Structure 1
Amino acid sequence: MNTGRKNIIVFSFDDSVPFYKYKDVFNEPLVLPNLEKFCQESTIFQSAYCQSPICGPSRASFMSGRTPHQLGVFENKDDVFESISAADMWSCQLKQNGYFCSSGGKVHHYYRPLRRRYHRVIYSDEQKRFRSDMNLPDDVEKDKFGGHRRGFGTPDEKDDAMYYDHQSADSAIKFIEDYDRSEPFYREIGFYSPHGPHYTPARFKEMYNVRNFKKPEEWENGFDETPYSKLNYPPNIADKPEKWWKMSVRNYFSALSHGDYHFGRIMEALKASKHAENTIVILLSDHGFHLGNRDNFKKTTLWEQVAGVPFIIYDPAQTSPREVQDPVALIDVGPTVLDYADLPPLDNCLGRSLRPQVQGQTNPDRVVPTFHHNDVSVRKGDFRLVRYEDGTTEFYDLKDDYWQLRNLGSEHPAYADVYSALVACSKSYGLDIQEPQ
C-alpha cells in the first residue's frame, strides 16, 4: 500500500451546473445529500469556468492543459489526438513518475474508452466499457415523465444496474477496495449524469413535485439580445409551455440526484478504505447548462450558466469547508493534480495549481476566458463581458444580474477595464482579437 505521495481521483459529471448555486432557485429544492456532505468538508471554487462550452473541446482542454486555440479543437468532431500525442496528456507525467493510472468512464470525450493505441499510453490498466443511458434495451419497462427528451424513468429496481453511472460507480468501488500496489494511484471516474436524455430509475423523478417548480421572478421581463447572439445563440424553448419547463428541470434535477447517489456510494467506499487519509478528490464538470434562462435549455453559449462549472477539491488533511470566490479555470486541473503529486508544472500551460488557494491564498484579480471559436467571454470581478467575432459585446454585472438579462453596454464605468483584460487574456490564450474595420 502506498503511504507516501497522494493518491488522486478526478471525478467528472457531464453537463452539470454548479449545483451549489441551484439548491433553491426554482422553489423545489435540489436534493443532493452526498454532494452537500462533500462540500461541507472540501474547498468549493464558486467562480470556476470551462474554456469551451462543448463537451469534447472542454475535455480536450482540461485533460491536456492547453487552450482551445492551442489545440485547434472547437467542436465535438475535432480529434484532440490529431493535434497532440497521447503522451502529451498531463496524466502521462503521473504514469511516467510512478503512478498507477486507471480509467473509468467519461473524463476524456465519449462514453466509450479511448482507442487502444491512446489508452495504453495514458493508463496502466485495461479499458472499461459501460452501457450508455441512450441505449437502454427496448424491452426494459420505462415510464414517461414528460419534458425534455420525454423524461423516461425505469420503475423496476432490478434495472438500476444498466445505467452508466451504476456501472461506473461499481468499477470505481472495486478499484478502491482492491487496490493494494505500492505505487500511488490516479483514478478517473466519469459519470453520465446529468447529461441528456436524463433517464433515471423512476424513484429519482418521484423525489420532485413537478408542480412546485417556479421560474425566478427576474425572468418575467424578458432579456436583452444583440443581432449576433440572436442569430448564433438563439433561444430554443421560447415556444414551450411552462409545464414542459417544469418537467424538464425536474428531469435534469433527477439526473443530478441519480449521480449524487452513486457519488455517495464511491465516497463511502473511499472513506472505509485504507486509502481514506491519503487520497485527494477533485470534482468538476466539462461545462454548465441553461435550465430555462434566456429561453434556453441547452449548452454551447458563453453566458455564465454554461461557462460556469462545479469545481471542488477534497483534501483529507484539511476538511474544514472553504469557499473561494476568485475566478479559476478548468485548465487548472492538470497543474493542480501535478502539484498534489509533487511533480513539476506542465510546460506550455496557462493553467495554475489551485493548491495554494485550497490552503488559504487568494488571487481575486485573475481573468478567466471561455471560447467558442472566435467568440469569447470573460469573468473579471463581478462582471461578465461577452465579445463576439463581429466585434459586438454584451456586458453584465453578475452580482445584480446573475441570469444576464440586462446588457449594461460599453458606457458602463467598468467596461473599458474589463474589455482591456479580455483582449489581453484572449491573446495569451491564443486568440488575437482584431477590431472590425
Structure 2
Amino acid sequence: MNAKSLLAQAGLCLLSMVGNAREELPEKKNVLFIMSDDFNYWLHSIGYYPQVKTPNLDKLASEGVLFTNAYCSSPVSNPSRNALWSGLRPSTTGIDNNAGGYVRDRAGFEDIVTMNQYFLQNGYWVYGAGKLYHPSSMNDNPYIDKDNWSERYKGGTGSKGGKFLKWKNPGWSSMSYSVNEESMNEENCSDYEMVNEVAQYIKDYAKSAHKDQPFFIGCGVFRPHLPWNVPMDFWNMYKTEDLKIPESCLDKVYADIPWLKTSSAHRGVLDAGKWKEAIHAYISLMTMTDSNIGILLDALASTPYKDNTIICFMGDHGWHLGEKEQWGKATLYDEANHTSLIIYDPSAQGNGKVCRKVVSLQDLYPTLVEQCGLPAKADIEGNSLHALLQEPESKDWNKPVVSTYSGSNYIKTNEWRYVRSKGGDRDMLFDMVKDPSECNNLINDRKYAGVIKKLNAELDSILAIGTRLREEKLKGEKPQIPGKALTVKLGDKELKGTINRTCVKSKVVKRERLLLDLLSSDPYCTLIIYDESGKEMLKKTVPGEQDMELELPSGMGDGNYYLFVKEHDGSSVEKFVVKGKNKKKKNNNYYPINNLL
C-alpha cells in the first residue's frame, strides 16, 4: 500500500455525472453514511489547520456542501452517537457523558425508533460496519442496536502500533502514539481491512439478492482515536519540524476564566517537547482516515448508484490539540464540540458551496429522512438541513445549536456561544465573531445582560421540547434496574458501593498492571484498591474518562483485591484477582473471567 498513490487517486472525479449508461436506479435515494472517531474540524477544506492533507474529503466537500460550523450534541462519543442515532438530545435522554449508558436502557426510551431502524422500516437494506454506536465494532454487542440492521460487518477497527517514535504522555497515560515500520495493510490496520470489505460490498450490491431495495450503508472508521498508531507511509508524509502550532494556541490571555488551568496532559507534552510531534501523529491518522474513506468513495463512483446516493461524512465530536492548554475532548470549550461535516446529495442545488451557519449532528436524522423522501418524524429533535443544502448561504437560517455535557447545557448561534454550567460556577459567554478563540469570557460584563437573557430563553425553549418528548415517552415507562447496592466487608471495614458498571477489562491480572476503561461522569475520580483485610494498597486521582493501565504497587502479592471508583455521587466497586505477579512474564498480562462479584 503506497500512501502517495492513494492521495493521487483523489484526483478522480468521485461524483462525476459523466459515464456509461447506467442501470435503472431505485426511486428512493441511497445513503452512504461515514463517521470518523475523534476527527475534529482540522479538515483541510475548513482551513483551520491548512497543513493537514485530506484530499479525498476535500474533493467530496467541493462536490457537496461543506459545513464549517458543525457541532456535536455532546463532546464525547457515547452521548454524541446515542443522540445522533436516536434523534434525541442528551438533555432529553439523560445520556450526557460516556458513563450514561445506552438509550434503550433508559426508562421510556426502550422502544424508540433509531435512524437505522427507521430506514429499515421504510424498505431500505441497512448495513453497518465499524464504530457507529459507542462500541468499537458492529459485533453482537447489544449496544449497537443489533436487531435493527439487515446485515453487519463484525470485524475490528483501528490500527496497530510499531517500534518507532513510541511515546506515552506521563500526564495522561491514554495519550500515546507510535509509528509502525510497515506501510498500511490489512494486517496492521483493521480500518483499512474494514473499508475494503465495505467497498466490495458497495461494488457487489447491484448483484445482490436485495439489489431492488435502496441501501443505507453506515461505516464508522476508528482513527484518529487514541492510541495514535500510524503506519510509516502516512507518518512520512509530514515532517515534524515543518509543522506549526495553531495560531489560536499562541500567546493567548484568557480573561475571566479563572478555572482554566494547564491540563496535566498539556504539561506532559510541554515538558517532553512533544507538541509538534503529537500534532504530527494526529494529522497522519487524519490523512490515513482520508485515504480509507477515499476507498469507499471510489467504490461508490464505480457503481450505477453514484448519482443517486447521498454521502454524509462527519466526525463524532471535536478534539483539542493544545488549544486552551488542553488535549482531548470532554470539555465545555468550542474545540471539543466543533467537528467536520460534509453532505453530498445529488439533487441539492447548493452542491459545491460552503455553509458557515451553525448546524448540529443532531440535525442529521431529520435531514436524511427528508432528503430520502421518507415520512417525517415528529418525535425526534434537530432541524432538517434541507434549506441549507439548497442555499448554503441562506440569510434566513438562524437556528441555534444546543449541546449538553455532564449536566451543563450550552447554546451556540451564528454570533454567540453561551455555556450554562452545572452549578453555575463555570458559566461562559463568548462573542464568536470578534473572539473565535474564546479568550474573553463576557459572562460578568453587564453590557451583555440582554444577550444572556435572550440566550437563556432560547436554550430553555429548546430544552423544553425534549422535556415534553421525555414526558410523553415516560407515560409508558418500564421499570429500570438500578445498580445493585452492596456492602463489602473487608477486615474490620464495611465499605459501601454499587455494581453499576464494569471498568476492569480483565478480572484476573497476571503481574503488574490493571487494565481499566473509566467512564466516570466526573472530570476526575479517585481509584482506591483494598486487599481482603481492608488495607489500602493504592489511592490515585485520575481523569474520569480514559482507557488506562494502572500500575499495581510492588507490595501487592497474589490474592483477591477490590477496586473502588469514588465519584461525587458515590462509589462503584469491582473485584479482581492478582495471580502469578512475581513469576516470569509470558505472553499477555490479562486473563479474563466473569462474575466474580
Same fold (TM over 0.5): yes
2:331 alignment counterpart:
301
Match of 2:55 among 33, 42, 47: 33
Residue 21 of structure 1: how far off its partner (Å)? 6.4
Cα separation, 2, equivalents of 1:42 and 1:81: 34
Residue 61 of structure 1: how far off its partner (Å)? 0.3
2:398 alignment counterpart:
365
Judged with a 3 Å threshold, the aligned counterparts in structure 2 of structure 1 residues 174 and 86 are, in CA distance, closer, same or farther, namely farther
Match of 1:54 among 76, 86, 99: 76
**Bigger radius of gyration, 1 or 2?**
2
Cα separation, 2, equivalents of 1:286 and 1:31: 20
Between 1:150-159 and 1:363-372, the stretch displaced more is 150-159
| Number of aligned residues | 424
Match of 1:154 among 180, 191, 209: 180
User: Do the aligned partners of 2:88 and 2:381 also contact (CA within 8 Å) in 1?
Assistant: yes
* Stretches of structure 2 lacking an aligned partner (at least 5 in a row): 1-23, 170-174, 468-597
User: Do the aligned partners of 1:5 and 1:342 also contact (CA within 8 Å) in 2?
Assistant: yes
1:43 alignment counterpart:
65
Judged with a 3 Å threshold, the aligned counterparts in structure 2 of structure 1 residues 203 and 29 are, in CA distance, closer, same or farther, namely same
1:167 alignment counterpart:
193
User: Do the aligned partners of 1:375 and 1:388 also contact (CA within 8 Å) in 2?
Assistant: yes
Match of 1:223 among 247, 254, 269: 254
Residue 167 of structure 1: how far off its partner (Å)? 2.1
After the TM superposition, which residues 91-130 of structure 1 pair with which residues of structure 2 at under 5 Å, given as runs? 91-113=116-138, 115=140, 119-130=145-156
After the TM superposition, which residues 130-209 of structure 1 pair with which residues of structure 2 at under 5 Å, given as runs? 130-133=156-159, 136=160, 141-144=162-165, 146=167, 149-157=175-183, 159-180=185-206, 181-209=211-239
Deviation per residue, 1:190-225 (Å, 9 max, x gap): 011211111121111111111122334552144235
User: Do the aligned partners of 2:332 and 2:419 also contact (CA within 8 Å) in 1?
Assistant: yes
CA RMSD after TM alignment: 2.6
2:436 alignment counterpart:
402
Judged with a 3 Å threshold, the aligned counterparts in structure 2 of structure 1 residues 65 and 158 are, in CA distance, closer, same or farther, namely closer
What amino acid sits opposite 2:34 in the alignment? F
User: Do the aligned partners of 2:74 and 2:97 also contact (CA within 8 Å) in 1?
Assistant: no
Cα separation, 1, equivalents of 2:344 and 2:300: 12
Residue 243 of structure 1: how far off its partner (Å)? 2.9
Ranked by relative contact order (alpha carbons within 8 Å, sequence separation 6 or more), the top structure is 1
Residue 120 of structure 1: how far off its partner (Å)? 4.6
2:35 alignment counterpart:
12
What amino acid sits opposite 1:262 in the alignment? N
After the TM superposition, which residues 187-336 of structure 1 pair with which residues of structure 2 at under 5 Å, given as runs? 187-217=217-247, 219-224=250-255, 226-227=257-258, 236-238=265-267, 240-241=269-270, 243-318=273-348, 320-336=351-367
Give the % identical residues: 23
2:424 alignment counterpart:
391
Secondary structure, counterpart of 2:369 in structure 1: helix
Deviation per residue, 1:60-117 (Å, 9 max, x gap): 0011100112211122231222023365212211111110000011111111225466
Judged with a 3 Å threshold, the aligned counterparts in structure 2 of structure 1 residues 414 and 270 are, in CA distance, closer, same or farther, namely farther
User: Do the aligned partners of 1:147 and 1:247 also contact (CA within 8 Å) in 2?
Assistant: no
Cα separation, 1, equivalents of 2:133 and 2:111: 11
Cα separation, 2, equivalents of 1:22 and 1:275: 26
Residue 400 of structure 1: how far off its partner (Å)? 3.0
Residue 417 of structure 1: how far off its partner (Å)? 2.3
User: Do the aligned partners of 1:65 and 1:346 also contact (CA within 8 Å) in 2?
Assistant: no
The structure in which a higher percent of residues are helix is 1
User: Do the aligned partners of 1:7 and 1:184 also contact (CA within 8 Å) in 2?
Assistant: yes
User: Do the aligned partners of 1:23 and 1:29 also contact (CA within 8 Å) in 2?
Assistant: no
1:338 alignment counterpart:
369
Cα separation, 2, equivalents of 1:415 and 1:39: 39
User: Do the aligned partners of 1:377 and 1:385 also contact (CA within 8 Å) in 2?
Assistant: yes
User: Do the aligned partners of 1:16 and 1:310 also contact (CA within 8 Å) in 2?
Assistant: yes
Judged with a 3 Å threshold, the aligned counterparts in structure 2 of structure 1 residues 358 and 68 are, in CA distance, closer, same or farther, namely same
Cα separation, 2, equivalents of 1:190 and 1:114: 13
Residue 384 of structure 1: how far off its partner (Å)? 1.5
Normalising by the residue count of structure 2, what TM-score does the alignment of the two structures yield? 0.66
Residue 351 of structure 1: how far off its partner (Å)? 0.9
Between 1:351-360 and 1:70-79, the stretch displaced more is 70-79
Residue 419 of structure 1: how far off its partner (Å)? 4.3
Secondary structure, counterpart of 1:3 in structure 2: coil
Cα separation, 1, equivalents of 2:188 and 2:290: 17
Residue 250 of structure 1: how far off its partner (Å)? 0.8
Cα separation, 1, equivalents of 2:337 and 2:284: 22
Normalising by the residue count of structure 1, what TM-score does the alignment of the two structures yield? 0.89
Residue 302 of structure 1: how far off its partner (Å)? 1.7
User: Do the aligned partners of 2:224 and 2:285 also contact (CA within 8 Å) in 1?
Assistant: yes
User: Do the aligned partners of 1:380 and 1:418 also contact (CA within 8 Å) in 2?
Assistant: no
Cα separation, 2, equivalents of 1:412 and 1:364: 29
Between 1:363-372 and 1:305-314, the stretch displaced more is 363-372
User: Do the aligned partners of 1:24 and 1:30 also contact (CA within 8 Å) in 2?
Assistant: no
Cα separation, 1, equivalents of 2:333 and 2:35: 21
What amino acid sits opposite 1:303 in the alignment? Y
Deviation per residue, 1:119-160 (Å, 9 max, x gap): 552101144221443xx4xxx753225476442121223745
User: Do the aligned partners of 1:173 and 1:266 also contact (CA within 8 Å) in 2?
Assistant: yes
